[in-house]
A and B are shown apart, each in its own frame.
Chain A
Amino acid sequence: MNAAACGAPLDLPALLDYWLGDLAPGAVDSVEEHVMSCAACADELSGLVAVGAGIRRLASAGRIWTVVPGAFLQRLVDEGLHVRQYRLAPGGSVQCTVTASDDVVAARLDADLRGITRAHLVKLDAAGREVHRIEDIPLSDSSDEVVIIERTDRLRALPAVIEYLRLVTPEPGGERVVGEYTFIHTPSP
Chain B
Amino acid sequence: MDVSDGELARRIAASAPGAASDVEAELYGRLAPRVRLYGLRHLRDAQAAADLMQQVLLMTIERLRDGKVHDPDRLGSYVLGMCRLVVIDLRRGGRRREQLLHDFVGDVPVGTSAPEPRVDEERLEACLARLAARERSVLVLTFHSDRSALEVGRELGLTAANVRVIRHRAIVRLRACLEDEEGTP
Contact = CB atoms under 8 A, between A and B. Distances in A.
A3 B30 contact: yes
A37 B117 contact: no
Which of B3, B117, B167 is the most central at the interface, judged by chain A CB atoms within 10 Å of its CB? B117
Contact residue range for chain A?
A: 35 or more
A59 B140 contact: yes
Give the secondary structure class of A's interface: helix
Interface residues of B, number: 58
A66 B139 CA distance: 10
Interface string B34-74: 11011011000000000000000000000000000000000
Contact of B119 (A32, A54, A134): A54
Given A54-B119, A58-B125, A135-B132, A72 B75 contact: no
B171 A58 contact: no
Interface string A131-159: 00011111111110000000000000000
Interface in B79-128: 79-80, 83, 116-119, 121, 124-125, 128
Give the secondary structure class of B's interface: helix
Contacts of B79: 36
A4 B1 CA distance: 11
A3 B38 CA distance: 18
Interface stretch (A16-24, A87-95, A167-175): A16-24
Contact of A32 (B38, B116, B117): B38
B155 A55 contact: no
Contacts of A188: none
A54 to B, nearest CB: 4
Given A47-B117, A63-B125, 20 more contacts: A2-B3, A2-B5, A12-B172, A17-B164, A36-B38, A36-B79, A42-B37, A43-B33, A50-B116, A51-B124, A51-B174, A54-B119, A55-B140, A58-B124, A67-B136, A68-B137, A72-B140, A72-B144, A136-B133, A138-B157
Interface of A: 1-4, 12-13, 16-22, 32-33, 35-39, 42-43, 45-60, 63-69, 71-72, 75, 121, 134-143
